[in-house]
């Protein structure tokens, strides 16, 4: 007789499931979390007005005290920035079977619904940190190349310095032409490759080409800047367009100061120049303390500058060598890194200059006390699935753009951008 084999007893074997579930992505709050809660202004649906002293006044000159005329005088100019909140949401959906199958530690190592509700606000803030990088259009990626697959497109996004950091898996996106005047289609990100700087979008988007852009859903006219005003909007020296109701061409006071690296690698004079541009605008004894925000790629570039001029005096008692000392200060300014930051720029932003105009704080969308809603099937009955939303109505604004400077068009160190 044959011995009992393993295949005959497999039905009796216990299955081990590891209780610790690693997270293979990040939910860093980044710069969005840097904007302090004390800088939140509660607003209504009407525009918020932020008064600004645009220019000094007074007619300075010389005069003859021996009966000469003193002339007339003048005074400062004041104007206002206007801010209106935008409305953002994050939808989370699950089936009843997913809920029932994990609602006890006897059934699963993790309660799925409890986990979804616990992490939803963190995920919303992570999405907020993507939007805070933008220019107000809702653009989140630029297509470098398009590869058409069977039922999906693959977009390599390796040209704008963001890669695919500003989008997330399972997110629906719109594909627009470069001018954001033609909507080519809408699809879902079904594969998200941060390292490879590519996404798969399902279904195929007819006519999608290189230079097209991915835009957040819920926006029908990106060029009207209906989205969150982010770093590219506020930290800008542009003399065209507008800023919170001001014409940039007519009001140079509301432009940030720029240092154009012109494609070269970061060098020591650049941050000093950027800081001095702030002082040139608002004075040497201003109360602002800029923080240098950058992608870790530029932190490495700065570190390499330091390594090139480092002299090592190795003593016999020394046991450790660490040449990767990090960028803690840059031209006397504290440094902060954010993987969502553009790899081609460094922004010098004082604490307290950025703020939120908030109509509705981040939280669950509720109706009559309900936070979770059932789905309806096509026949009008209830579907065995539920969903909830995290929502917020707010807009980012800057109290003093003259206190901000930035370096852009920096060379990206090797290895950070797919070529």
Residues 6+ apart with CB under 8 A from 388: 91, 92, 117, 120, 364, 365, 371, 372, 373
pLDDT at residue 6 above 80? no
Residue 373 and residue 366 in contact, taking contact as beta carbons nearer than 8 Å: no
Instruction: Give DSSP secondary structure letters for 12-77.
Output: GPPPP--S----SS----HHHHHS-GGGEEE--SSPEEEEEEEE---------TTT---------E
Residues 6+ apart with CB under 8 A from 301: 265, 266, 410, 411, 413
pLDDT at 2: 78
- Tens-digit pLDDT profile for residues 210-242: 999 999 999 999 999 999 999 999 999 999 999
Number of other CB atoms surrounding residue 154 within 10 Å: 16
Q: Report residue 7's pLDDT band, with 50, 70 and 90 as the boundaries.
A: confident
219-225 contacts, C-beta under 8 A, 24 or more apart: 219/137, 219/138, 219/174, 222/137, 222/138, 222/139, 222/176, 222/180, 223/137, 223/179, 223/180, 223/181, 225/135, 225/136, 225/137
Rounded CA separation 235/246 (Å)? 15
Residue 385 and residue 374 in contact, taking contact as beta carbons nearer than 8 Å: yes
Dihedral class, residue 372 (left if φ above 0, else alpha if ψ from -120 to 50, else beta) = beta
- Tens-digit pLDDT profile for residues 106-163: 888 899 999 999 999 999 999 999 999 999 999 999 999 999 999 999 999 999 999 9
What's the pTM value of the predicted model, to 2 decimals? 0.91
CA-closest candidate to residue 255, choices 57, 410, 403: 403
Burial class of 234 by CB neighbour count within 10 A (0 to 12, 13 to 18, 19+): buried
Span of 25-34, 232-241, 308-317 with lowest mean pLDDT:
308-317
Q: Which residue has the higher pLDDT, 174 or 320?
A: 174
Rounded CA separation 410/416 (Å)? 13
Rounded CA separation 272/283 (Å)? 15
Q: Which residue has the higher pLDDT, 316 or 405?
A: 405
Chain centroid, CA 268 distance in Å = 27
Q: Which residues pair with 408 in a beta bridge?
A: 260
Residue 261 and residue 408 in contact, taking contact as beta carbons nearer than 8 Å: yes
Angle made by CA atoms 411, 137, 89, in degrees to the nearest 5: 115
């Amino acid at each position: 007789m044959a011995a009992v084999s393993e295949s005959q007893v497999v039905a009796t074997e216990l299955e081990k499931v590891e209780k610790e579930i690693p997270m293979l992505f990040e939910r860093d709050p980044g710069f969005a979390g840097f904007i302090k809660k004390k800088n939140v202004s509660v607003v209504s649906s009407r525009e918020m007005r932020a008064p600004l002293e645009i220019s000094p006044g007074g007619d300075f000159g010389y005069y003859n005290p021996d009966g000469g005329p003193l002339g007339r005088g003048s005074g400062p100019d004041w104007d206002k920035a206007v801010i209106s909140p935008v409305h953002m949401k994050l939808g989370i959906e699950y089936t009843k079977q997913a809920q029932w199958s994990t609602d006890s530690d006897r059934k699963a190592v993790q309660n799925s619904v409890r986990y979804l509700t616990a992490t939803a606000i963190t995920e919303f803030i992570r999405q907020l940190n993507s939007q805070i990088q933008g220019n107000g259009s809702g653009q989140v990626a630029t297509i470098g190349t398009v590869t058409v697959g069977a039922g999906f497109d693959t977009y390599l996004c390796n040209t704008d310095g963001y890669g695919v950091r500003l989008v997330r898996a399972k997110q629906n996106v719109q594909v627009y032409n470069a001018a954001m005047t033609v909507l080519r289609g809408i699809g879902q990100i079904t594969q998200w490759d941060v390292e490879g700087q590519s996404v798969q979008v399902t279904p195929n988007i007819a006519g999608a080409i290189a230079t097209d852009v991915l835009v957040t859903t819920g926006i029908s006219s990106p060029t009207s800047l209906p989205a969150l005003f982010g770093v590219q909007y506020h930290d800008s020296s542009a003399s065209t367009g507008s800023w919170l109701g001001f014409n940039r061409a007519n009001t140079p006071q509301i432009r940030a100061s720029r240092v154009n690296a012109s494609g070269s690698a970061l060098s020591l004079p650049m941050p000093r120049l950027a800081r001095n541009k702030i002082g040139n605008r608002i004075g040497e004894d201003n109360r602002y303390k800029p923080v240098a925000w950058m992608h870790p790629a530029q932190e490495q570039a700065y570190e390499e500058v330091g390594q090139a001029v480092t002299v090592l005096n190795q003593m016999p008692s020394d046991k450790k060598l660490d040449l990767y000392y990090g960028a803690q200060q840059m031209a006397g300014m504290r440094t902060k890194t954010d993987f969502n930051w553009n790899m081609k720029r460094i922004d010098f932003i004082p604490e307290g200059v950025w703020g939120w105009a908030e109509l509705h704080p981040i939280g669950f969308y509720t109706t009559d006390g309900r936070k979770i809603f059932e789905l309806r099937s096509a026949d009008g009955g209830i579907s065995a699935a539920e969903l909830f939303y995290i929502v917020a109505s707010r807009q980012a604004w800057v109290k003093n753009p003259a206190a901000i400077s930035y370096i852009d068009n920096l060379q990206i160190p090797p290895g950070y951008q797919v070529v």
